[in-house]
Amino acid sequence: MIPSFILKNGVEVPAVGFGTYLIKDIEEIDRCICQAADVGYRSFDTAMIYLNEEGLGKAIKKCGIPRDELYITTKLWNDSHGYDKTLKSFYASLKRLGLDYIDEYLIHWPGLNDSFIPTWKAMEKLYMEGLIKVIGVSNFIKPVLIKLLDNCEIKPLVNQVEMHPIFQPDDLVAYCQKNNILVEAWRPIARGKLRKEPLLTIARKYNKTPAQISLRWLYEKKARSLPKTIHRERMIENINIFDFELEKIDIEAINGMNTFIRTGESPDEFFSSEIV
Ligand SMILES: NC(=O)c1ccc[n+]([C@@H]2O[C@H](COP(=O)([O-])OP(=O)(O)OC[C@H]3O[C@@H](n4cnc5c(N)ncnc54)[C@H](OP(=O)(O)O)[C@@H]3O)[C@@H](O)[C@H]2O)c1
């Protein structure tokens, strides 16, 4: 039902995954994950800092989807950078999730003083040991990514960044794609704030919603997206985007919506270990 992107190491990654930021309550995470799995999601995005790894792990076991059909992402938080701390934090996430490997493990933010370099060494070790199937980064802007590529043995396979019609990091996306790094779009429906032109007119043209148009636009840009919702009908809506194609004129109109203003933290400035 949900098509995949194929990474350069051959791993197939669902083009749309289920975002779980702010779904913390244990009953809520259980319900959301089981409903999302029921309507067709196989990929789930969490992070140590979302405080829901344990609930997510329990829910995926409960809903009975075979492990090899699931694609689970989690992320290393800022206070755990460094070689030894990364290993420790990874094993803690693995335990909370109740898994024996993680499909995708990301450095959540680049951190201070090039701390991502020893952190990445630990990620490479875990990848070589088969405990992580896909290693990657998140919120890495181009100069930081270049520095990582200059200092790594295994290149990152993904970069998860803010991307939606209101904020389009085109230069970074082009650089990632040139280097075979899959771009993952966080906040892909701009937290539902897309009821504006030209999206409303385009949505009417295809008999879709603005959220669906945004998610389709991301897919056509070869970016994987991670929409979050606690509502079953929206879970269905957010993956019902593979039965139409946007015309070039509409893609260009959405390209024209870029404000160059982030809705989230700037990777240039955000290093705190206390806030998400
Ligand atoms: N790597 C990072 O630093 C980072 C940062 C932020 C997020 N993320 C990941 O990316 C995921 C998505 O980002 P996000 O949660 O910030 O934003 P988002 O997915 O763009 O938007 C979520 C918001 O939109 C609403 N919504 C969902 N589907 C909708 C629809 N079809 N129509 C209208 N509104 C809809 C949701 O409300 P309801 O729940 O009430 O439906 C929720 O308030 C996160 O959950 C997380 O997994 C990663």
For the stretch 216-241, pLDDT in tens is: 999 999 999 999 999 999 999 999 99
What confidence score (pLDDT) does residue 268 get?
Answer: 76
Q: Give residue 273's pLDDT band: very low, low, confident or very high (50, 70, 90).
A: very low
Per-residue confidence (pLDDT) for residue 48, from 0 to 100: 97
- d(CA 73, CA 70) in angstroms, rounded, equals 10
- pLDDT at residue 243 is higher than 50: yes
Atom of ligand 1 nearest to the CA of 231: 41
Which pair of tokens denotes residue 95?
């335990």
* pLDDT at position 276: 37
Q: For residue 18, what are its two tokens? A: 């289920």
| Rounded Cα gap, residues 57 and 48, in angstroms | 12
Confidence of residue 44 (pLDDT cuts 50, 70, 90): very high
Lowest mean pLDDT among 111-115, 162-166, 184-188, 243-247: 111-115
User: Which residues contact ligand 1 via a Cβ below 6 A?
Assistant: 19-21, 45, 108, 138-139, 160, 186-192, 209, 211, 226-231, 234, 237-238, 264
- Residue among 187, 225, 237, 270 whose CB has most ligand 1 atoms within 8 A, to mutate: 187
In a domain, 77, yes or no: yes
By most ligand atoms within 8 Å of CB, the mutation choice from 21, 73, 237 for ligand 1 is 21
The answer to whether residue 82 sits within a structural domain is yes
Q: What spacing in Å lies between the alpha carbon of 129 and ligand 1's midpoint?
A: 33
Query: Structural domain of residue 86, as residue ranges?
Result: 13-193+223-229
Backbone torsions φ then ψ of 262, nearest 5 degrees:
-70, 150
Whether residue 3 lies inside any domain: the answer is: no
Which residue owns the Cα nearest ligand 1 atom 27? 229
| Each residue's pLDDT tens digit, 139-179 | 999 999 999 999 999 999 999 999 999 999 999 999 999 99
In a domain, residue 129? The reply is: yes
pTM score, two decimals? 0.97
By mean pLDDT, which of 82-86, 161-165, 236-240, 265-269 is the weakest?
265-269
Number of domains comprising the chain: 1
Contact (Cβ atoms closer than 8 angstroms) between residue 42 and residue 12: no
CA angle 266–268–274, rounded 5-degree value: 65
DSSP conformation class of 68: G
Residue 54 lies in a domain: yes
How many angstroms separate the CA atoms of 115 and 108, rounded? 12
Between CA 263 and CA 86 the distance in angstroms is 28
Q: Is residue 265 part of a domain?
A: no
Mean pLDDT of the chain: 96
Give me ligand 1 centre to Cα 32, in Å: 13
pLDDT category, 1, cuts 50, 70, 90? confident
Residues serving a catalytic function are 50
Between CA 237 and CA 175 the distance in angstroms is 31
Helix (H) or strand (E) holding 176: helix 170-178
pLDDT band at residue 271 using 50, 70 and 90 as cut-offs: low
Q: Is residue 205 part of a domain?
A: no
Q: Is residue 175 part of a domain?
A: yes
DSSP state of 12: E
Residue 117 belongs to a domain with what CATH number? 3.20.20.100
